[in-house]
Amino acid sequence: MPDCLTKYFSKMDYTEDSVIRLPNGLPGFEHESEFVLIDQPQNRPLVFVQSLRTPDLCFVALPVLSVDSAYGLSVSSEDLEALGLDSTRQPVIGTDVACLAILSFGEDTLMTANLLAPVVINLKTCVAVQAIQPGSNYSHRHPLLSEEAEPVCS
């Protein structure tokens, strides 16, 4: 089993089917094209998106449906093509794709999820893109948990 160095879990084994490939990388990290999804029962629903190339690069994410159970995908036809999916219909979360919102931690302890641009993963091929959805009204800084502990999660 291959192993890799990680930001939060030191060295760990991973399986090939937990690797996602982003042909274009992520905005701001265009050269990072391979990540391991670390989805451990004790940390659920958190998913760690660990770069295979850079041990110190690991995003923390949540399934979009954990953040907003009514979340609606509107992936552009270019992104659908990049994912190798039918570009005439929207993919179904859980059946066609997995969909993760990357979390950010502000200086003011506010935690936010990027619902504007989720990481969409083709479940069959594990090819992924960070799909910016310009037509949606979702925020790139959707408040997740604030100091007042008023959870937006459901």
Partner 1 sequence: MLVVRRREGESVLIGDDIEVVVLEASANRVKLGITAPREILVFRKELELTREQNRMAASADGLALSRLAGALDTLRPQRRTGVKEN
The DSSP secondary structure of 87-102, one letter per residue, reads TTSPPPBTTTEEEEEE
Start-to-end Cα distance in the chain: 36
Name the one residue in this structure whose structure tokens are 């690991």.
58
- Cα–Cα distance list, 32 to 80, 106, 151 (Å): 20, 23, 32
Which residues, 6+ apart, have CB-to-CB distance to 92 below 8 Å?
none
Q: Which of 5, 12, 19, 65 is in the footprint of partner 1 by CB under 8 A?
A: 65
Q: Residues in contact with partner 1, total (CB under 8 A)?
A: 50
Report in angstroms how near the CB of residue 130 gets to partner 1 at its nearest.
7
By CB under 8 A, residue 45 contacts partner 1 = yes
Indicate whether 115 belongs to the interface with partner 1 (CB under 8 A): no
Rule CB under 8 A: which residues touch partner 1?
A: 8, 26-29, 37, 39, 43-47, 57-60, 63-66, 69, 93-94, 98-100, 102-106, 109, 111-112, 114, 116-117, 123, 130, 132-135, 140-141, 145, 149, 151, 153-154
